Structures are given as C-alpha cells and as structure tokens.
Amino acid sequence: MTRILEVTDLILRDAHQSLMATRMAMEDMVPACEDLDNAGYWSLECWGGATFDSCIRFLNEDPWERLKTFRKLLPKTRLQMLLRGQNLLGYRHYEDTVVERFVAKAAEHGIDVFRVFDALNDVRNMKTSIAAVKKSGKHAQGAICYTVSPLHTVQAFVDMAQQLKEMGCDSICIKDMAALLKPQPAYDIVKGIKEKCGKDTLVHLHCHATTGVTLVSYMKAIEAGVDIVDTAISSLALGPGHNPTESLIEMLEGTGIETRLDLDRVLKIRNYFKTVRPRYKEFLSDITGVETEIFNSQIPGGMISNMESQLKQQGAGEKIQEVLLEVPRVREASGYPPLVTPSSQIVGTQAVFNILMGHYKVLTGEFADLMLGYYGETIGPKDPEVLEKAKAHAKKDLITCRPADLMKPEWEALRTDALSLPGCNGTDEDVLTFAMFPQVAPKFFATRDQGAKNLSKEPSKEAPAPAAAPKAGEAAAQPTGPVKYAVTINGQTHTVSVATAR
C-alpha cells in the first residue's frame, strides 16, 4: 500500500519572493505553465504575499490580470494564494466588507485555495476571510505561524489548529517562515493535530530552508502523517527560500510513501528556471548557504543585515550585538508575537530604539499599537510598565476586542477616492488595489497602459531593493507625542516622539 504525499510548488510566489525580492516577471513564468499544470502538484502557490505589492510597485503589472492569466494557463491545478487575514495583502486592518469583497474577487478570478494567516496568530483576525472563502465555495486553509517561545508549546499550536478547524477551515497549515521548525517539534505538532482534530484533517507544512534543518523536519512530519508539503523546484530553492522539490521526491524512496509528481516534467521545469534565475542577479539574495543564528536571535537573517547597515548609518554599528540581545526582550515585553511581517519590523525597530536612545525612552507608533492590542491579541501578557508607556505615548487605551470591530464601513469612501484617480478603470478590482496600496496605486493607475516591465531584461534604475518587505509607514497611524523626531531606521523614516520619563 503506497501512501501519497501531495506537493505544492512555490515557484510562482514565495520562491521568487524569497530569492529575488518578488521581482519575477509574468513573462518569465508563462513558458513553464504547461509543465507546471501537468506535473501533478496538489496546488501551485502563485498569488498573494508580496506579489500584489511588487506587481504595482515595481513591475507596472496589474495583479488581477496576472491571476486571470494563471487561471487560463493552469486549468488543471489548484491555484493557491497567501492572504494576511484581516490585512488582506496590505499592511493595515480592513473593515469586513473590504475583506469579503477581496476574497470574492480573488475566488472569481481563479484562486482555489486561500492560505489565511495572522501575524499574531490571533484567529479573530482570520475569521472574516475564512468565512468569505467558505462562502465563495473555495478551500479555506488556516495557517499557524510557527515560532519559538516559552509559551509556544506543541499543545498551544494543536489548540490553535482545533480553533481553525472549528472556524470551518478545510485544512491546517503550519507556516514556518523563518525555518525554525526542527524535526522533533515538526513530528510532535503534526501528530498532535492529527490526534486532536481527527486523522482526516488535512495538514499542510510550509517551511523555509534557511537553517538547513527543515527537509529533515519534512521527513519527521511525513512520518507523523502530514498530507501536503511545500517545496520549490531546485533551480529556485534553498538559501532563504525552500527545500528542493526533487530532493523531496528522492528522499522518499523505499519508505512506502511517494508523490504523484512526474519527474520528467519536474526536470523540464528545473531546467527552465535554471535559465531564468541568473537574469535576476540584481535582486538575488546574498544568502546561498545556511544561516543558523536565527535559532538564537529569533530574527530572520535579512532583518539582521538591515539592522546592521542602519546602525552603521547612525554611527552605531558596534551596537548590533546589543540589539540582537534586546530583540528577545522586546518580544517578551510585547507578549511573544511570532516574528513575521509586520511584527518582525515593529519589534526589531523598537529594539534598535531601546539601544540607541534608552530603554523605551522612544516608542514607535507601531510598537505602541502592538502593545495596546491594535494588531490583535498575543499569546503572552504584556509587560505592565511598557504598557503604561505605550498608553501615555499613544494617548489611547488598551483594546481587547478584534481590532476590525472598531472600524466603520469604508468601501464607499475607498471607492470614491479610487475612482478619482487618473487611470482608475472603475472596477472593484481597482478599488481593492487602491485600498491595499493607497500610496502606490495612483502612480500604477496612471502608468498601467505602458505595459508590464521585465526587470531582468531592462535593468531598473531603482536602487537594489533590500527585500519586498512592507513599508512599516503604511502599517498604522503615525505616532503623536510631546517631542517629535524623524528617525530613519531600516530604510524607513519614522516620526517618533519622546515621552517624558516616568
């Protein structure tokens, strides 16, 4: 009796997001689609994450058109997207109507599987999008952000899986964006979910490869009964990306478990992307080997180098070790959020401020909002002293409700604003684009008819971008306070205020 392990390939979304700053042009993906559609993947992740942002910010490409093209070229295979729950693909919370409209449009244009997550693992921030996916008749996958802290026990992850299942999720994803998931916890969590939620509960594992241990974690997860794993074709794999599809296929030999993948097709896909990757040299990640320090600092590698260069610009390059030690303390003070966009930026920036200007002498507006519940609930309690500083700084109180519950209907206002922009085509799709990227959409609408760019062919004049990381300035309201400074950290200018010491 052969057991089948299903595979999702990440080539069209997370692989190029992780390895080449989300810059791959649609033109470079089209030639592989026939092989991709016939290779036997359970799904192809091809939309969402940072691709929407990158399309309009860098590629002058309409992301909705990209999705429609994928649907045409990939008729047989499930199309999958990554959705940030109540944040959609933007960097703030949206009112429920906007979330519902977005999901309906994505479903209409071809998404079959919606992988929904929340940066804080607050399931309240996921419920509207999950309900909307169910309403559209599509596959709702609830994702758990994997992280490590004294409170993130196997039981805590299993309990979250059960909550997601009760919310109607068709499958559960363990999302290990920082390659922190080691083999033994991978085994324990998958086994725990299967035991608690039922053995027929589909469990899907997504690991990055950065630390070099996660293909081993895949093996142990497979032994524990995982149903689907995420890989990337070897020519677009490893480094800060993912484990190679071919290595996964081969490692199963003799175990009684196999994939449905057609190796000849996989080989053709490999050879094709081998020719594409070097053309994006300008955007390629520097990391080619493994990085294991993240197990200590809990900070993604890309972020460490960002913090390092920014500290240097402030003439404080020698403080990097202090900052690395401060990050886990800031994380503890803020209730142990997983470090993923945007919490990683918020926590990291606050750690830099603490070291440069004194312990919580200066708060960013985003950090105050995180402390006060405006991003949602964290697993652990907040540090009471820091919480008081956040209240004083932001001149608002702690909230305990779902953040979006405080929002007023905003669709009509967004629509009015979007339609006033030159080049806006008046569709709901354009309104959604504007809603998510109000600072970028105007320029995109105005230039859209010039056609999509392929940055690998016409080297752009933009400075080599460090990553497709979101701009934290878009994440929340700017802080206000008694004394204001403009401080540039991680390439972003923050208006920060110094609260009187208390």
Selected from 195, 250, 258, 462, the binder of its own copies by CB under 8 A is 250
Compare residues 163 and 235 and give the one whose CB is closer to its own copies.
235
**Residue 377 binds its own copies (CB under 8 A):** no
Cis peptide leading into 342, omega within 30 of 0? yes
Taking CB under 8 A as the criterion, which residues in 265-304 touch its own copies?
267, 288-293, 295
Evaluate whether 77 touches 37 at the Cβ level (below 8 Å).
yes
Q: Name the residue among 301, 128, 281, 335 with its Cα closest to residue 210.
A: 301
Compare residues 128 and 243 and give the one whose CB is closer to its own copies.
243
CA angle 335, 339, 340 (to 5 degrees): 130
Evaluate whether 348 touches 320 at the Cβ level (below 8 Å).
no
Compare residues 167 and 249 and give the one whose CB is closer to its own copies.
249
Measured distance CA(188)–CA(175) in Å, rounded: 15
Query: Please, what is the minimum distance in Å from the beta carbon of residue 498 to its own copies?
Result: 37
**Residue 254 binds its own copies (CB under 8 A):** yes
Q: Name the residue among 279, 278, 276 with its Cα closest to residue 32.
A: 276
Interacting stretch for its own copies, rule CB under 8 A, among 1-9, 45-53, 230-238, 306-314?
230-238
Token pair belonging to 458: 């016409």
Compare residues 81 and 261 and give the one whose CB is closer to its own copies.
261
Selected from 73, 167, 216, 407, the binder of its own copies by CB under 8 A is 216
Q: Is the dihedral of CA 304, 210, 90, 173 positive or negative?
A: negative
Selected from 125, 234, 344, 364, the binder of its own copies by CB under 8 A is 234
Selected from 212, 423, 466, 473, the binder of its own copies by CB under 8 A is 212
Interacting stretch for its own copies, rule CB under 8 A, among 102-110, 156-164, 209-217, 352-360?
209-217
**Residue 40 binds its own copies (CB under 8 A):** no
Q: Provide the phi-psi class of 420: left if phi over 0, else alpha when psi is between -120 and 50, else beta.
A: alpha
Selected from 68, 78, 134, 182, the binder of its own copies by CB under 8 A is 182
Taking CB under 8 A as the criterion, which residues in 337-366 touch its own copies?
none
Q: Is the dihedral of CA 186, 144, 473, 284 positive or negative?
A: positive
Evaluate whether 240 touches 18 at the Cβ level (below 8 Å).
yes
Residue 79 CB contacts under 8 Å (≥ 6 apart), including other chains: 43, 44, 46, 47, 67, 70, 71, 110, 111, 112, 113
Compare residues 104 and 216 and give the one whose CB is closer to its own copies.
216
Interacting stretch for its own copies, rule CB under 8 A, among 28-36, 215-223, 476-484, 492-500?
215-223
Q: Name the residue among 50, 13, 18, 17 with its Cα closest to residue 29.
A: 13
Residue 254 CB contacts under 8 Å (≥ 6 apart), including other chains: none
Compare residues 131 and 249 and give the one whose CB is closer to its own copies.
249
Say how many residues touch its own copies, by CB under 8 A.
Answer: 36
Interacting stretch for its own copies, rule CB under 8 A, among 99-107, 117-125, 229-237, 383-391?
229-237
Binding site for its own copies (CB under 8 A): 182-185, 188, 211-213, 215-220, 234-235, 237-238, 243-244, 246-247, 249-251, 253-255, 267, 288-293, 295
